Structure 1
Amino acid sequence: MATNENFFSGFQVNRSLLAGGVVLTGIGAALGAAGTVMVCAALATAGRDWVRKMDAPPTAIAHRALHGAKAASAAGWDAWRAEQTSPN
C-alpha cells in the first residue's frame, strides 16, 4: 500500500485514484467550456441572421414603441388633468 497515505489517524487517501479523478474532472470542465462556447457562437450567429432578415431595424421598432408610449402617457396625463380641473 505504497500509494496510500495516512492523514488524521486512520483517514487514508488513494493518491492514484484521487489524481485520476482530478484529471477526469479537468477534462470534463474543459469539454463543458468548449461546448458552452460553441452554443454561444451558434446562438449569436442565428441572432445576427434573424436581425438582418427583419423588415425594419430594431432601433426603428424601439423608436416607434417609445413614441407610442410617450403619446399614451401624454393622453393619460391630459385626461387626468382635465378630470382634476372639472367642477364635479
Structure 2
Amino acid sequence: MATNQRIFEGFQINRPLLTGGVVLTGIGSVLGAAGAAMVCAALLTAGRGWVRSLETPPSELAHRALSGAKAARSAGWEAWRAEYGSPN
C-alpha cells in the first residue's frame, strides 16, 4: 500500500502511473510547443519570400486602394451635394 493512497472509500490512486502520465504529458507539451514554433517559423519564412517575389509591394497596393477609396468618397460626397444642394 506504499504506492497506492486511499483518498475516498474504494478510490485508489496508483502514484507511479499518475507520475508517469504527468511526466509524459509535460514532455508531449514541450514537444508540441516546439513543433508549433517550427511550423510558425517555416510559414513566416515562406510568407516573407512570397512578399519579396511580388512585382508590386503590398504597401503600394494598399496605397492605391486607399487613394481609390478617397476618390470614391469625394465623388459620392459631390454627387450627394449636387442632388440635395447641401451648403457644406
Give the TM-score taking structure 2 as reference length: 0.90
Residues 3-82 of structure 1 aligned to structure 2 (within 5 Å): 3-82=3-82
Unaligned runs of at least 5 residues, structure 1: none
| Deviations 1:14-69, CA, capped at 9 Å, x for gaps | 10010011011011101110110010000000010011001111111111110000
The runs of at least 4 consecutive aligned structure 1 residues that moved more than 2 Å come to 8-11
RMSD: 1.4
Q: Aligned equivalents of 2:18 and 2:43: distance in 1?
A: 37
Residue identity matched to 1:68: G
Percent of aligned pairs with the same amino acid:
70
Quick check: 21-30 or 77-86, which moved more? 77-86
